[in-house]
């Protein structure tokens, strides 16, 4: 076959037509964002999902430099999402973006004890409608991984860390020992001293929860857990059933932390194989803290899970007492939305303003710290304490609502409840300076035609003017609002009669009615004879001016 320029152009066009090109978003189709991270680069891919396949819309990548290279893996994933929101801002502002990742992005960004840069990123991302979903199949993730690998070096495979735990409870007290070690020999040893009484099983759970928190802070994604407590390991592996209510709560708390890791496995070992953690517990519990210089010692002031007996004193999220908080808690904790589409969208909008801390719902504020959400059954207690408690000073409804917020509490109808509460407060009703409203609504005076209804009144005294005048007699037409006035030296019934005759009757004709107050100059017989002879209706107002 003869080679020609035309044949080459046709060949190139054929290749370009067969290549998958970037597409544009379509109304009604979801946009999905995939994230990828390696040691020296982050990348993302914005995808449009159809029923069968996915179509790429845009790719972003950034090479990490300087301090960015020292970010932890989860911080790099969050930074990748921030970079994507900067470069693809029009897409983020106009649509709901579904973020698919195998990292606990949503939980990390909602934590209150994260690094300052993570807090800034969380605030910046909160203005977008983002949905965090677990990445199930690879699909377009391979495109994002390719972009990240092309921009930087290949990511090293994460190693599996081993976590050894042991809890104890005796007459000397209770505590736990934790040992976190990896294949390279890096080892972290921590001893926890409990300031509360705990059973052996409770101490084992506290040790496990503290160990998982430590592994999460270190940046571990794969962890193998070893414990000599057969009860705890069997309950987590679903071999035993947790019947005690407190143990059920500890089990739920532990499973919640285990879900934050990519891979987890817990095994039961005998006490002799867990001798290092066991001896660590005995050593730390028998010797003073200053004798163990290489050992990290911490004190746990309260248990990770509040006992069932104390739930009446602590505003916890449990049972039917939640009421308005139920949908938010179910979505934040279990990712469950209401069946109604309108209610589901409302929960998704409001979810950015709320967070769960130790199984308690809090509302985020712009210029205030986290506000504890109060169930409806406890709002009256909060209002009574703030309004009429030790530091209460019987504030008004608006001031009371602001003081409740400053005290750290919130519920949606706070302003309405404070208004109703004020109406029921007996001291406020007795001592407040209320305005006495009229027995019925005031009726405005109108005129159907110009110059048919006039208002007449006297004003003064004013500073004396030439001619010793210091009063004014004024008339106003109710229809046109036309005003005329005349100065007076003294106020008499004769002068009050002369003014309307000269300025109203002789100029505009006989009016239908004249409205005055109850002054003696208008109730005198001289003025009344004038309006009676002219058949003018004389109307009186209240004490105020007509």
**Mean pLDDT of all residues in the chain?**
79
DSSP string, 25-78: --TT--EEEEEEE-SSEEEEEEEEE-SS-EEEEEEEEEE--GGGGG--HHHHHH
For residue 495, the tally of other CB atoms under 10 A from its CB is 18
Residue the block writes with tokens 């005998």: 270
Compute the distance between CA of residue 427 and CA of residue 280 in angstroms, rounded to an integer: 62
Edge to edge, what strands does the sheet with 263-268 contain? 263-268, 222-227, 160-170, 173-181, 187-194, 296-300
Structural domains of the chain, count = 4
Please indicate, yes or no, whether residues 238 and 349 belong to a single structural domain of this protein.
no
pLDDT at 230: 86
Asked whether the beta carbons of 478 and 455 are under 8 A apart, the reply is: yes
pLDDT at 137: 55
Most confident of 293-302, 305-314, 415-424: 415-424
Please indicate, yes or no, whether residues 52 and 143 belong to a single structural domain of this protein.
yes
| Least confident window among 297-306, 335-344, 346-355 | 297-306
Please indicate, yes or no, whether residues 165 and 145 belong to a single structural domain of this protein.
no
Please indicate, yes or no, whether residues 134 and 21 belong to a single structural domain of this protein.
yes
Q: Which domain holds residue 412?
A: 325-431
Compute the distance between CA of residue 99 and CA of residue 375 in angstroms, rounded to an integer: 32
Structure-model confidence comparison of residues 78 and 25, the more confident one: 78
Is the residue at 368 inside a domain? Answer: yes
Structure-model confidence comparison of residues 9 and 412, the more confident one: 412
> Can you say whether residue 468 is alpha, beta or left, with left for phi > 0 and alpha for psi between -120 and 50 degrees?
left
Q: Tell me: pLDDT of 5 over 80.
A: no
Please indicate, yes or no, whether residues 249 and 224 belong to a single structural domain of this protein.
yes
Q: Tell me: pLDDT of 271 over 80.
A: no
SS3 131: strand
Is the residue at 308 inside a domain? Answer: no
Contacts of 497 (CB under 8 A, 6+ apart): 526, 527, 530
HSE-up (13 A, CA, CB side) for residue 470? 6
| Least confident window among 104-108, 210-214, 215-219, 434-438 | 434-438
| Chosen domain end from 151, 183, 202 | 151
Q: Is the pTM of this model over 0.95?
A: no
pLDDT at 337: 82
pLDDT at 487: 92
Confidence tier at 546 by pLDDT (50, 70, 90): low
Looking only at the bridges linking them, the beta strands covering 54-63 and 41-49 are: antiparallel
Contacts of 298 (CB under 8 A, 6+ apart): 190, 191, 192, 193
Work out the average pLDDT over 42-56. Answer: 82
Compute the distance between CA of residue 95 and CA of residue 42 in angstroms, rounded to an integer: 23
Q: Tell me: pLDDT of 288 over 70.
A: no
Please indicate, yes or no, whether residues 52 and 29 belong to a single structural domain of this protein.
yes
Q: Tell me: pLDDT of 481 over 50.
A: yes
What are phi and psi for residue 409, nearest 5 degrees? Answer: -125, 155
Please indicate, yes or no, whether residues 43 and 66 belong to a single structural domain of this protein.
yes
Q: Tell me: pLDDT of 118 over 50.
A: yes
Is the residue at 447 inside a domain? Answer: no
Structure-model confidence comparison of residues 377 and 431, the more confident one: 377
pLDDT at 113: 67
Q: Tell me: pLDDT of 442 over 80.
A: no
Vertex 188 angle, CA 183 and 192, to 5°:
140
Confidence tier at 291 by pLDDT (50, 70, 90): very low
Work out the average pLDDT over 363-386. Answer: 85
CATH of the domain at 134: 3.10.20.370
Compute the distance between CA of residue 292 and CA of residue 128 in angstroms, rounded to an integer: 49
Vertex 71 angle, CA 68 and 76, to 5°:
90
Q: Tell me: pLDDT of 418 over 70.
A: yes
Question: What is the percent of the chain where pLDDT is above 70?
Answer: 81
Q: Compute, in degrees rounded to 10, the torsion defined by CA atoms 284, 288, 290, 291.
A: -70
pLDDT at 157: 54
| Chosen domain end from 401, 431, 461 | 431
pLDDT at 261: 86
When computed from its CA atoms, the radius of gyration of the chain, rounded to whole angstroms, is 40
Confidence tier at 474 by pLDDT (50, 70, 90): very high
Contacts of 470 (CB under 8 A, 6+ apart): 460, 461, 462, 463, 464, 488, 489
What is the tens place of the pLDDT at every residue in 59-90? 888 888 887 888 888 888 889 999 999 988 88
pLDDT at 18: 56
Question: What is the percent of the chain where pLDDT is above 90?
Answer: 3
Interhelix angle 379-388/414-424, rounded to 10 degrees, is 60
Is the residue at 478 inside a domain? Answer: yes
Residue the block writes with tokens 């808690």: 329
HSE-up (13 A, CA, CB side) for residue 343? 10
pLDDT at 376: 85
pLDDT at 199: 83
CATH of the domain at 494: 3.30.420.10
Work out the average pLDDT over 32-60. Answer: 84
Q: Tell me: pLDDT of 466 over 70.
A: yes
- 79: nearest Cα among 31, 38, 112: 38
What are phi and psi for residue 164, nearest 5 degrees? Answer: -110, 130
Please indicate, yes or no, whether residues 396 and 467 belong to a single structural domain of this protein.
no
CATH of the domain at 333: 1.10.340.70
DSSP alpha helices (H): ranges in 310-396?
326-334, 341-350, 379-388
Please indicate, yes or no, whether residues 116 and 3 belong to a single structural domain of this protein.
yes
Please indicate, yes or no, whether residues 418 and 487 belong to a single structural domain of this protein.
no
Q: Tell me: pLDDT of 149 over 60.
A: no
SS3 336: coil
pLDDT at 470: 92
Work out the average pLDDT over 34-54. Answer: 83
Rounded to whole angstroms, what are the CA distances from 412 to 229, 316, 326, 340, 405? 45, 18, 13, 20, 11
Interhelix angle 200-218/245-258, rounded to 10 degrees, is 20
Confidence tier at 144 by pLDDT (50, 70, 90): low
Please indicate, yes or no, whether residues 417 and 464 belong to a single structural domain of this protein.
no
Structure-model confidence comparison of residues 17 and 193, the more confident one: 193
Is the residue at 147 inside a domain? Answer: yes
What is the tens place of the pLDDT at every residue in 176-235? 888 888 877 778 888 888 888 888 888 888 888 988 988 888 888 888 898 888 888 888
What are phi and psi for residue 47, nearest 5 degrees? Answer: -125, 145
| Chosen domain end from 240, 267, 300 | 300
Is the residue at 312 inside a domain? Answer: no
Q: Tell me: pLDDT of 456 over 60.
A: yes
Rounded to whole angstroms, what are the CA distances from 525 to 494, 530, 532, 533? 10, 9, 10, 12
pLDDT at 435: 62
Please indicate, yes or no, whether residues 116 and 206 belong to a single structural domain of this protein.
no
Work out the average pLDDT over 314-333. Answer: 64
């Amino acid at each position: 076959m003869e080679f020609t320029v035309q044949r080459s152009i046709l060949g190139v066009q054929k290749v370009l037509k067969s290549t998958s090109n970037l597409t544009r978003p379509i109304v009604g189709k979801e946009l999905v964002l995939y994230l990828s991270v390696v040691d020296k680069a982050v990348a993302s891919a914005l995808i449009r999902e159809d029923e069968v396949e996915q179509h790429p819309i845009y790719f972003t990548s950034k090479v990490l430099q300087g301090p960015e290279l020292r970010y932890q893996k989860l911080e790099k994933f969050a930074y990748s999402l921030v970079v994507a929101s900067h470069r693809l801002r029009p897409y983020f502002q106009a649509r709901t973006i579904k973020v698919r990742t195998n990292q606990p992005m949503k939980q990390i960004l909602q934590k209150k004890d994260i690094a300052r840069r993570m807090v800034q990123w969380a605030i910046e991302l909160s203005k977008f409608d983002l949905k965090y979903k677990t990445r199930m199949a690879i699909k377009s993730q391979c495109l994002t991984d390719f972009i990240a690998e092309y921009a930087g070096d290949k990511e090293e495979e994460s190693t599996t860390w081993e976590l050894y735990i042991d809890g104890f409870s005796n007459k000397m007290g209770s505590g736990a020992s934790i040992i976190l070690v990896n294949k390279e020999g890096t080892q972290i040893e921590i001893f926890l001293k409990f300031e509360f009484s705990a059973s052996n099983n409770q101490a084992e759970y506290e040790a496990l929860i503290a160990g998982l928190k430590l592994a999460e802070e270190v940046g571990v994604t794969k962890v193998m857990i070893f414990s000599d407590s057969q009860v705890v390991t069997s309950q987590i592996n679903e071999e035993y059933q947790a019947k005690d209510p407190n143990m059920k709560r500890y089990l739920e708390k532990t499973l919640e932390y285990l879900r934050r890791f990519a891979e987890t496995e817990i095994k039961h070992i005998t006490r002799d194989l867990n001798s290092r953690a066991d001896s660590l517990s005995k050593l730390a519990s028998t010797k003073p803290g200053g004798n163990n210089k290489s050992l990290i010692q911490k004190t746990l002031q309260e248990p990770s899970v509040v006992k069932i007996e104390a739930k009446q004193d602590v505003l916890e999220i449990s049972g039917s007492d939640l009421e308005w908080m139920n949908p938010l808690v179910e979505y934040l904790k279990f990712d469950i939305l209401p069946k109604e589409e309108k209610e589901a969208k409302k929960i998704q909008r409001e979810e950015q303003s709320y967070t769960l801390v130790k199984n308690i719902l809090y509302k985020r504020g712009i210029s205030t710290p986290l506000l504890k959400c109060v169930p409806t059954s406890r709002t009256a207690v909060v209002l009574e304490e703030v309004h009429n408690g030790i530091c209460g000073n019987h504030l008004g409804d608006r001031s009371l609502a602001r003081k409740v917020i400053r005290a750290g509490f919130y519920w949606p109808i706070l302003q309405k409840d404070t208004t109703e509460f004020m109406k029921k407060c007996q001291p406020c009703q007795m001592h407040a300076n209320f305005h006495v409203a009229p027995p019925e609504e005031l009726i405005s005076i109108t005129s159907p035609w110009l110059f048919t209804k006039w208002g007449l009144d006297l004003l003064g005294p004013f500073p004396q003017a030439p001619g010793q005048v210091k009063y004014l007699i004024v008339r106003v037409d109710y229809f046109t609002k036309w005003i005329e006035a005349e100065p007076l030296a003294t106020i008499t019934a004769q002068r009050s009669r002369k003014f309307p005759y000269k300025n109203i009757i002789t100029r505009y004709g006989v009016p239908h009615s004249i409205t005055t107050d109850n002054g003696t100059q208008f109730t005198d017989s001289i003025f009344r004879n004038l309006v009676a002879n002219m058949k003018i209706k004389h109307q009186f107002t209240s004490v105020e001016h007509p």
